[in-house]
Structure 1
Amino acid sequence: MRPSPTTLRAGLFTLVALGICLFCAWLLFGRGTSPLQSDIMTILPATERHPLAEDAVERLARASGDRMILLVSNDDDDAAKTAARELGEALGKDPVFASVIAELPPFDLDQLVTPFLPFRFHLLTPEDRAALTSPGFDAVAALRRRLNEPFGANVGAKLTDDPFGWMQHWLDRQPWNRSTLVPEDDMLTAHQGDTTYVLVIATLKGSSYDDVVQRQAVATLAKAESAMLAKHPGTTLQRTGAIFYAAAARAGAERDTHVVGIASSVGIAVLLLLVFRSLRPLLIAFLSTALGVVGAIVATVLVFGQLHLLTLVFGAALLGEAVDYSIQYLCARANTGAAWNAERGVRQVRPALLLALATSLLGYALLGIVPFPALQQMAVFAMAGMAVACASVFWLLPALAQKPARAPLSPALVRLALGWQRAASGRRALVVLAVLAVAAIPGWLRLGHDDDIHLLISPPKTLEAQTASIRDVAGFGGGTQFWLVEGTSAEEVLQREEALTDRLRTWIADGKLTGFTGITAMLPSAKRQAENIAAVAPLFTPADRMNAWLAAAGFRPEGMASFVTAYPGRAFTLDDWLAMPAYTPFRYLWLSGSHGTGSIVVPQDQDDVALLRQASEGLPGVSLVDKPASISALFGRYRGYADVWLGGALALVGLAFLWRYGPRAVGRVLLPPLAGIVFSVAALGYLGQPLTLFHIMALMLVLGVGANYAVFLREGEPHAAHIPGAAYAGVLLSAVTALLSFGLLALSTMPALQHFGLTLLLGIGFTALIAPVSVPAPKKSSA
């Protein structure tokens, strides 16, 4: 017996679906690395004026590398050091860490100082250069002061290599000498009050954003911390590093996914069982939705190469909208009764589903055209998921739902729907809507706006506090603002940075700034080095003068011969700086590549943007980069454009309705989504919610979903005329499933998703209640 076309289509669709499912499994689990991404930087838009600035933002964000920065503290000095030592040993046993530094390896200070000796005459502090060029410089007096100086705690050169202390002064200004941490008992230790702090650095073998590495490293640390605290009461452990922010983001996203995905799935399952009073429709609806989600994951990973956890949480909410297509098909089946034919059922719902799909795709496409990776990922995920779910209704569900439904829709739901449809349709409903529109005006007038980047980035306050504490104790860090210095060559960049840092030093003297980190504090420009050697040259011309001064100050001639003969040495170059291991942690300050040449200067303990911007005023090639402020400003611009986007989308939906329903009915069908948007925005105003980009983007979806409900009711009413209220019951069922998913986003830990969820909760609720105005009021005689 030859299989029917319905069976053939379903078989072909099943084969394709199985292939997509297997491919999805391979993308997620079969490639060694997971495509799931928790790094927020990957979904932020480019905001700076050219690629070099974006490179600088990326470089600064990755400055800490894939490391755990841990600070062990205790009021007992020995307990703090022992606890830190044991913590390092415990972490070092796990292969997830490439290295763990708790105790410093044996090293000779000469190994750090010796590489600088060939350049010593080219490296001067501003104070030494000024002293050398002043008319009253007394070389013998300077040598005697140096000879009688007490031994310092910082890294320094031998007296015979640096009799004037120029190199010592230079080394004192290097970044590693500015930290309060000092080697003590072979550990980097700081003291504040009665508390001892010990630094432990654990370098990961992989990326902080790799799911496997992240989970294993965090679990190992938690186990080691528990053992340390149990053995050493009174000890505390503070932590910072990209891995902890990524882990916090992942934990929040997983919680949101569980809340939205599981809670909405359970709620939708219970609702479908109550309405259809059969298990088969429930399984069919979830199969269609599951295929949509799988297709969405595959499409997103193929297009973007990754799937951000933010998108995954949003995708969990997509369940409530993707299930609409199967619900409408199953409602048509239940309303038809014994006369049900699967193929006729598809033809019956096809116009409504295709028009509804088109309006939904339009709403998501408007998200996708925004040059914002987060919204683009959500748009691709949703569009692919909706398309696959809708296709499953046409190709797969007819084969699974060939037999008539065992029971009609729940009579209680139909009676409820009919009662509200009668109350919310006709002229009286239009008058009520007009009154509500007037009442909405004060809500609109109360609206403010909020474009803060922290709508997307909201790390735990405890982690932020620990990061601030480590920065205070260890001297690490800097904020999110920095100066970008650009030039056509390395030398021009260095000279321009020196113009900036010379100004910053005056600010430090005036108390406006506590410090900064920049490359020219380590690598002066060739011009500055020439000025340094010019300042030193008179002391060695002739060389006998220097020998005489050294002898007069009390230095032994035989010990100073190497110092005199070493002059003038050679210039310190960029290649020398890059080759020095001591400067490896600071290489992020230098930018060089296809996007140009530049450097980064990071201010310390100052986040007044207006003040920081003043520092770069009038300096060629120097600008302040403030990524959070740039993104916030971009959000504000997009929010301003959103009115145009929303109006354009409304016009396109209106044209589609005009084509389908004609000029006399287009107003009625368009009224539910339009009124839903108006009332949702007013409600946000009354709730005191400032309007954000994410509220506006959610309104795009309210337009699409609201249009769906009007279409479902308008198209379904003629086919369910024998059961008054049944078509609207299907609309209410779709609305409640959407509320159970999108509405739960309002419980998200991320403010952006909260705003998304709240707006959809209001918008879907309003449009579902207003949908009856899109069709004439049912006659009471037909009840």
Structure 2
Amino acid sequence: MKKRIGIVFIWFSGLILLLTSIFWLTKPTFSADMFSLLPKSHSQLAYGEQLFFEKNAHRVVFSFAGEQKNNAHDEFNNWLEQQGITSTFNFPSINALTTTFAPYKYALLSKPYKQKIADKASFEQFYLQQLNQLGSPFVSATLSTDISLSLAGFISENLSQSQVFTIKQNRLTRQYEGVEYAMLFATLPEPNLSINNAISLAAKIKTQINTLSKAHPNTTISYSGVLFHTAENAQQAKYEMSLFGGISLMALMVMVFWVFRAISGILLASFTVLSALMGGAIVMLLVFNSIHLLTLVFAVTLIGIAIDYAFHGMTDLAKVANETAQQASSNGYSKGVKSALLLSFITTALGYSCLLGAPLTLLAQVAVFVIAGLFSAWLFTVLILPFWQQTLRVSTSSLLLSKKITRVFLYCNKIKKPLFIALSIVLASLLILKPIEFNDDIRLLNASSEQLMASEKKHLTLLGAVDLCSTYINQPTLVATS
């Protein structure tokens, strides 16, 4: 017994030491940002996306509407300052916009520019008119960078969209569809909040908003920003990991205990899963520096596959142990089981390896985690489990049930042709009645609440970004490059 415990202790001590060392050396970060799942764009567009996300990832937006919106705005602004969160709203300079958009000039065109470029004569007149406006800050700032003046028109249209706000008594206001909104833009104190800190800060802000809503019942307060999406997606990911992982683990443990009727069976199955999780984490930390929480959600499937290795191994060891109970030592795995376990690992690993080249980082992380985890589980099953062979015995009730199931499979094998035809007809009928629909929309991975999504759309509308985005998305040149 001491030898068996010592071997398990040495195995996990090595894994813990390796995992701790790699975690300390790589210092990975955990993210719940949905934008990080998007495929990498063309280099020029990726540069613009990086600037945009870095600029807006640590900003939050609030809007106040109703009879007491000004009081709610001022009280909330004072509370934000007490938390070290400063309110900001700065119009970008023309030179800064020129530097930002210059790498992908000609890709984004203003609406007047698109209308004029369709006709040569009309465009020549339009171009000369723009060129003669050297007093225009947009033309003078961009002419040396873009002689076509498409960049000047694009920046001019962007800034015109920003001129929808007015300042009233030191409050930024916006009129939209007959309703006046008091707007508040704030910058978070830490640009790169950890997941737990993001959840905590988002909860504090929501609590304060609820308090203000009760104090000012005729006021509607809306909030949006990457912070709130990160917090809601992280909480949902943790919930799913706990729920699905817990249910899978409990169900499999009950099955293992029912078959072996011994604590040793549950411990060995748990050790196999733990070995898989640690092995997968070690390799994933070596390959990726930033880990997405959804990777851990999808990786809970590793629990079932790892226990499958342990379950097949333990049942075979228990069978051999029963057959050789009179002998002084056990014979280990029976002939062919080691090969079956190895082939099972190879086929599963090959299947997940197809995800390594996927454009989504999430899928590549899941593939690396599962392949490495299964390899660790396979090593534990092959190398460590045989030392516990003498402690494994299959219960009589499970043996009787397995014999019944075997007879069912043998009978199905005799009638396999009519059974195959019947199943094919049933499957074809189901496909005809309800065809399978595949939806690869990445937005389905987003777990943000409907309330937050509605607030996000509302604020984009108030900022004038909805119409602006729809205008540019319809441009063929932008769609082609992205």
TM range (shorter): 0.7 to 0.9
Moved more, 17-26 or 413-422: 17-26
Out of 310, 332, 336, the residue aligned to residue 344 of structure 1 is 332
- Aligned counterparts of 2:348 and 2:310: Cα–Cα separation in 1: 15
- Aligned counterparts of 1:353 and 1:66: Cα–Cα separation in 2: 48
Out of 282, 296, 299, the residue aligned to residue 298 of structure 1 is 282
- Aligned counterparts of 2:394 and 2:436: Cα–Cα separation in 1: 50
Matched residue type, 1:39: D
The yes-or-no answer on 1:624 pairing with 2:478 is yes
Give the number of equivalent residue pairs: 423
Give identity over the alignment, percent: 20
SS in 2 for 1:236: strand
Structure-2 change in CA distance of 1:286 and 1:399 (3 Å) = same
- Which residue of 2 is the match for residue 564 of structure 1? none
Work out whether residues 240 and 467 of structure 1, in 8 Å CA contact, stay in contact via their aligned partners in 2: yes
Out of 18, 32, 38, the residue aligned to residue 44 of structure 1 is 38
Structure-2 change in CA distance of 1:360 and 1:331 (3 Å) = same
Work out whether residues 297 and 307 of structure 1, in 8 Å CA contact, stay in contact via their aligned partners in 2: no
Out of 155, 161, 167, the residue aligned to residue 183 of structure 1 is 167
Please report how far the alpha carbon of residue 313 of structure 1 lies from its aligned counterpart in structure 2 after TM superposition.
Answer: 0.6
The yes-or-no answer on 1:471 pairing with 2:471 is no
Moved more, 293-302 or 449-458: 449-458
The yes-or-no answer on 1:85 pairing with 2:74 is yes
Please report how far the alpha carbon of residue 319 of structure 1 lies from its aligned counterpart in structure 2 after TM superposition.
Answer: 0.5
How does 1:337-376 map onto structure 2 within 5 Å? Answer: 337=322, 339=324, 344-345=332-333, 349-376=337-364
Structure-2 change in CA distance of 1:286 and 1:63 (3 Å) = same
Please report how far the alpha carbon of residue 410 of structure 1 lies from its aligned counterpart in structure 2 after TM superposition.
Answer: 1.8
- Which residue of 1 is the match for residue 86 of structure 2? 100
How does 1:608-623 map onto structure 2 within 5 Å? Answer: 609-610=473-474, 612-613=475-476, 623=477
Matched residue type, 2:32: S
Matched residue type, 1:188: L
Please report how far the alpha carbon of residue 435 of structure 1 lies from its aligned counterpart in structure 2 after TM superposition.
Answer: 4.0
How does 1:119-134 map onto structure 2 within 5 Å? Answer: none
- Which residue of 2 is the match for residue 418 of structure 1? 406
- Which residue of 2 is the match for residue 385 of structure 1? 373
- Which residue of 2 is the match for residue 462 of structure 1? 451
Out of 180, 195, 205, the residue aligned to residue 221 of structure 1 is 205
- Aligned counterparts of 2:8 and 2:235: Cα–Cα separation in 1: 39
RMSD value, Cα:
3.7
- Aligned counterparts of 2:272 and 2:5: Cα–Cα separation in 1: 17
Work out whether residues 22 and 285 of structure 2, in 8 Å CA contact, stay in contact via their aligned partners in 1: no
Out of 431, 445, 452, the residue aligned to residue 441 of structure 2 is 452
- Which residue of 1 is the match for residue 99 of structure 2? none
The yes-or-no answer on 1:247 pairing with 2:231 is yes
Work out whether residues 309 and 341 of structure 2, in 8 Å CA contact, stay in contact via their aligned partners in 1: yes
- Which residue of 1 is the match for residue 15 of structure 2? 17
Work out whether residues 58 and 192 of structure 2, in 8 Å CA contact, stay in contact via their aligned partners in 1: yes
Work out whether residues 318 and 389 of structure 2, in 8 Å CA contact, stay in contact via their aligned partners in 1: no
SS in 1 for 2:211: helix
Q: With structure 2 as the length reference, what TM-score do the two structures score? A: 0.76
1:644-680 deviation digits (Å, cap 9, x = unpaired): xxxxxxxxxxxxxxxxxxxxxxxxxxxxxxxxxxxxx
The yes-or-no answer on 1:437 pairing with 2:291 is no
How does 1:712-727 map onto structure 2 within 5 Å? Answer: none
The yes-or-no answer on 1:335 pairing with 2:319 is yes
- Which residue of 1 is the match for residue 46 of structure 2? 54
Work out whether residues 174 and 180 of structure 2, in 8 Å CA contact, stay in contact via their aligned partners in 1: yes
- Aligned counterparts of 2:389 and 2:359: Cα–Cα separation in 1: 42
Matched residue type, 2:460: R
For structure 2, the residue ranges without an aligned partner over 5 or more in a row are: 95-111, 114-125, 134-154
Matched residue type, 2:11: F
1:721-780 deviation digits (Å, cap 9, x = unpaired): xxxxxxxxxxxxxxxxxxxxxxxxxxxxxxxxxxxxxxxxxxxxxxxxxxxxxxxxxxxx
Please report how far the alpha carbon of residue 395 of structure 1 lies from its aligned counterpart in structure 2 after TM superposition.
Answer: 2.4
1:218-248 deviation digits (Å, cap 9, x = unpaired): 1220222122122222222212212222222
- Aligned counterparts of 1:248 and 1:626: Cα–Cα separation in 2: 33
Matched residue type, 2:201: A
- Aligned counterparts of 1:93 and 1:284: Cα–Cα separation in 2: 53
The yes-or-no answer on 1:396 pairing with 2:389 is no
Work out whether residues 238 and 466 of structure 1, in 8 Å CA contact, stay in contact via their aligned partners in 2: yes
Structure-2 change in CA distance of 1:372 and 1:80 (3 Å) = closer
Matched residue type, 1:386: L
Work out whether residues 317 and 334 of structure 2, in 8 Å CA contact, stay in contact via their aligned partners in 1: no
Matched residue type, 1:398: P
Please report how far the alpha carbon of residue 188 of structure 1 lies from its aligned counterpart in structure 2 after TM superposition.
Answer: 0.9
Work out whether residues 20 and 294 of structure 1, in 8 Å CA contact, stay in contact via their aligned partners in 2: no
Work out whether residues 317 and 332 of structure 2, in 8 Å CA contact, stay in contact via their aligned partners in 1: no
- Which residue of 2 is the match for residue 743 of structure 1? none
- Which residue of 2 is the match for residue 497 of structure 1? none
| Max Rg structure | 1
Work out whether residues 277 and 373 of structure 2, in 8 Å CA contact, stay in contact via their aligned partners in 1: yes
- Which residue of 2 is the match for residue 309 of structure 1? 293
SS in 2 for 1:206: coil
SS in 2 for 1:271: helix
Structure-2 change in CA distance of 1:174 and 1:441 (3 Å) = closer
Structure-2 change in CA distance of 1:233 and 1:422 (3 Å) = same
1:51-89 deviation digits (Å, cap 9, x = unpaired): 21332333344452411111122x21xx21111111122
Please report how far the alpha carbon of residue 296 of structure 1 lies from its aligned counterpart in structure 2 after TM superposition.
Answer: 0.7
Matched residue type, 2:364: Q
- Which residue of 2 is the match for residue 69 of structure 1? 61
- Aligned counterparts of 1:23 and 1:412: Cα–Cα separation in 2: 48
Matched residue type, 1:101: S
Structure-2 change in CA distance of 1:177 and 1:61 (3 Å) = closer
Work out whether residues 38 and 308 of structure 1, in 8 Å CA contact, stay in contact via their aligned partners in 2: yes
Work out whether residues 44 and 374 of structure 1, in 8 Å CA contact, stay in contact via their aligned partners in 2: no
Please report how far the alpha carbon of residue 437 of structure 1 lies from its aligned counterpart in structure 2 after TM superposition.
Answer: 3.2
- Aligned counterparts of 2:403 and 2:69: Cα–Cα separation in 1: 72
Matched residue type, 2:35: M
- Which residue of 2 is the match for residue 262 of structure 1? 246
SS in 1 for 2:413: coil
- Which residue of 1 is the match for residue 261 of structure 2? 277
Matched residue type, 1:15: S
For structure 1, the residue ranges without an aligned partner over 5 or more in a row are: 106-111, 114-124, 135-170, 479-513, 515-602, 614-622, 631-783
- Which residue of 2 is the match for residue 542 of structure 1? none
- Aligned counterparts of 2:24 and 2:366: Cα–Cα separation in 1: 21
How does 1:768-779 map onto structure 2 within 5 Å? Answer: none
